[in-house]
């Protein structure tokens, strides 16, 4: 997955480490490790609700973006 950086307009690869660092900068009190992000990234574990909200805020999308369709109301 790639992301365009708003400050430099460069396209960079989005890695679990980069996501963890971005989250730490945005929400320093949110306890989330690089390993947890890796597990979320690869579908090995569902993210906690507080992490979902911070990721949504970070990427400017609704929290439902990170939810599987079967969990969303019709």
Q: Output the pLDDT for position 41.
A: 83
Q: Is 2 helix (H, G, I), strand (E, B) or coil?
A: strand
Report domain extents, the chain. Answer: 2-71
Q: Output the pLDDT for position 24.
A: 92
pLDDT tens by residue, 2-58: 656 556 667 777 888 888 898 999 899 999 998 998 998 888 988 888 999 998 888
pLDDT tens by residue, 63-72: 888 776 665 5
Predicted TM-score (pTM) of the model is 0.72
Q: Which two tokens stand for residue 74?
A: 């019709």
Check if the beta carbon of residue 16 is closer than 8 Å to that of residue 41: yes
């Amino acid at each position: 997955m790639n992301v365009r950086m708003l400050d430099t307009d460069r396209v960079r690869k989005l890695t679990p480490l980069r996501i963890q660092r971005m989250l730490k900068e945005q929400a320093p009190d949110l306890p989330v490790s690089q390993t947890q992000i890796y597990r979320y990234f690869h579908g090995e574990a569902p993210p906690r609700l507080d992490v979902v909200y911070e990721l949504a805020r970070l990427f400017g999308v609704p929290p439902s973006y990170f939810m599987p369709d079967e969990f969303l109301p019709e």
